[in-house]
């Protein structure tokens, strides 16, 4: 069965909505009071902070398809084919070890201390075999967490391919990871940073 799964950080999306809405409300209130110059002066700063929030918490995701795993992080997207995956870890966040280096998913962090304490025994049961280390699992493998949910899907399909012999002595056609930089986001961040500096100190 081919996987078709995309994970966005639930906390990140809620945070993005709250923060961006607060910035927009601040601008509207300032403009509504007739303080147009003040609104124009803080607009680049609010725009910069809003864009950072959008790039850091709304856009990142983990996408699992028949061809492999794609990690969309803050400034770049990384594609990893199934034969390139050597190990899946969740110590701090979903991490894929490959012959070309280790890549981490910004959208799938390991759970915080509160989430670990509130977990129940059932959250650590019936996981893919490669989740267990000496009979136990990391907190980041709990399916109630973003890292655990993504790791569950990836490990399940990866183990299916491995057990079917599709990964035996498999070598990827790629000699390095496929990385796509988010140049428009980077350019917008640079432009808003410069504009914020100019409006703040003038």
Provide the whole-model pTM. 0.84
Give per-residue pLDDT as tens, 152-192.
999 999 999 888 887 765 556 777 889 999 999 999 999 99
Domain boundaries, the chain: 10-59+183-200, 61-181
- Chain-centroid distance of CA 178 in Å reads 17
Would you list the DSSP string of 115-178? HHHT--GGGGSS--GGG-BTTB--GGG-TTSHHHHHHHHHHHHHHHHHHTTTTTT---S-SS-E
Would you list the DSSP string of 48-100? HHHHHHIIIIIS-EEEE-SSEEEEE-SSEEEEEEGGG--EEE-SSEEEEEETT
* Residue 38 three-state SS: helix
Give per-residue pLDDT as tens, 48-103.
999 999 999 999 999 999 989 999 999 999 999 998 999 999 989 999 999 889 99
Give per-residue pLDDT as tens, 117-127.
454 455 556 67
CB 123 within 8 A of CB 143: yes
User: CA separation (Å) from 172 to 71, 95, 176?
Assistant: 18, 19, 9
Q: What is the signed CA dihedral for 153, 87, 100, 71, rounded to 10 degrees?
A: 20
Distance CA 140, CA 92 (A): 7
């Amino acid at each position: 069965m081919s996987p078709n799964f995309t994970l966005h950080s639930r906390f990140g999306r809620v945070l993005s909505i709250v923060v961006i809405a607060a910035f927009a409300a601040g601008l509207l209130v300032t403009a509504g009071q007739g303080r147009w110059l003040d609104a124009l002066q803080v607009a680049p700063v609010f725009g910069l902070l809003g864009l950072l929030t959008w790039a850091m918490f709304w856009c990142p995701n983990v996408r699992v398809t028949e061809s492999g795993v794609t990690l969309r992080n803050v400034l770049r997207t990384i594609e990893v084919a199934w034969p390139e995956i050597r190990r899946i870890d969740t110590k701090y966040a979903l991490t894929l070890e490959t012959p070309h280096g280790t890549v981490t998913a910004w959208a799938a962090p390991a759970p915080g201390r509160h989430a670990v304490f509130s977990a129940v025994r059932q959250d650590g049961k019936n996981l893919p075999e490669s989740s267990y280390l000496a009979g136990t699992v990391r907190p980041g493998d709990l399916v109630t967490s973003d890292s655990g949910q993504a790791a569950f899907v990836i490990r399940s399909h990866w183990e299916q391919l491995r057990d079917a012999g599709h990964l035996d002595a498999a070598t990827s056609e790629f000699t390095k990871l496929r990385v796509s930089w988010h140049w428009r986001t980077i350019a917008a961040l640079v432009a808003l940073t410069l504009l914020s500096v100019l409006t703040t100190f003038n």
